[in-house]
Amino acid sequence: MHVVRGTIACVPFLGATVQAHDPVFGLGPHTLFQGGYEIHLGASREKAGASSANAYLAQLKYGITSDWTIGVAVPYLDLSGPGVSSAGRGDAAVTTKYRFWRDDRPGVQESAALSLAGVLDTAANERLGAGATDVIGGLTYGYEGRKWYRWAALRYRHNGDGDQGLQRGDKLLFDLVGGIRFKPTGYLQPDWVWMVELNGEYSERAQRNGVKIADSGGSEWFVSPGLMWTYRNVAVKTGVQIPVASNLNGAQVDSDYRATLELEFHL
């Protein structure tokens, strides 16, 4: 779901298969089948210097049509660092994705989708949320073959004005992903797809009462190996973001790593 990415910086149908894949960290065009449900559970960890953040996510999605999916997600955060220690409910999010183009050919599917998410001001306290509502819009493309995969995505996050005159800088997210299935498998066999992602983030400087904050904003780039394992209607995804370039403003601490583990059930 990836709404909480960068936290430190801020039963019928049991036979249904997981019919498409999305990247681990990036955004993909996959949508649910009409009337389908997805239960998504995730755990992630970020570390930057002496600060760390653990996030645990529960998300429910529903397929209004085969091209339009909606969802709601609630995170639980555990933050620690110099002078900071807090745990509790983070900002919930409502999400939607609409696949506006799809081209099926023998052994290949290409598609593109638009996504929209609203991150709501529902955190348990001011340390676990920004005190504002944020909006994330995205455009994504995917190519899925029997062996090769590729995805690309661009997202823009508009951060609302927070408490005490704080205006957080907006953020631009870029994802470019390649994947491979070394051995094609059948429906009744476990399926493995290996991925490598290039994830880029650019943030504008934050402002407080109209004055720019020196230690805010900048860019970071990550190379992110990942793996998706699927079997029938169950999928497991895991990966780690390894920083390869950073140009953060002021005295900000560079990211050390980000790691995630996700479990999906399609019903």
Q: What is the pLDDT of residues 232-253, one digit of tens each?
A: 899 999 999 999 999 999 999 9
Domain assignment of residue 16, yes or no = no
pLDDT of residue 244: 98
CATH number of domain containing 150: 2.40.160.40
Q: Given this model, what pLDDT does residue 87 score? A: 94
Q: For residue 100, tell me if it sits in a domain.
A: yes
pTM value?
A: 0.91
**Strand 257-266 relative to strand 211-212, pairing:** unpaired
The answer as to whether 236 is a domain residue is yes
Q: Which of residues 20 and 144 earns the better pLDDT score? A: 144
Residue 106 lies in a domain: yes
Q: How many CB atoms lie within 10 A of CB 252?
A: 19
The domain of 64 spans 37-266
Flag whether 21 is in a domain: no
Which is higher by pLDDT, 3 or 203? Answer: 203
Q: What is the mean pLDDT of residues 123-134?
A: 87
Residue 255's contacts (CB-CB under 8 Å, 6 or more residues apart) are: 8, 46, 47, 48, 220, 222, 241, 243, 246
218 inside domain: yes
d(CA 75, CA 2): 11
Report if residue 4 sits inside a domain.
Answer: no
Residues 89, 74: contact at Cβ < 8 Å? yes
- Residue-level pLDDT at 136: 98
pLDDT digits 0-9 by tens, 66-107: 999 999 999 999 999 887 789 999 999 999 999 999 999 998
Average pLDDT over residues 158-173: 90
Cβ proximity of 6 and 218 under 8 Å: no
pLDDT given for residue 243 in this prediction = 98
pLDDT in tens, 39-74: 999 999 999 999 999 999 999 999 999 999 999 999
Q: Based on the structure, what is the number of domains in the chain?
A: 1
In this predicted structure, the answer to whether residue 3 has a pLDDT above a threshold of 70 is no
2: pLDDT strictly greater than 60? no
Average of pLDDT values for 186-210? Answer: 92
Q: Answer whether residue 147 is part of any domain.
A: yes
Q: What is the pLDDT of residue 7?
A: 56
Q: How confident is the model at residue 210 (pLDDT cuts 50, 70, 90)?
A: confident
Angle at 253 (CA atoms; ends 136, 166), nearest 5 degrees: 50
Q: What is the mean pLDDT of the chain?
A: 91
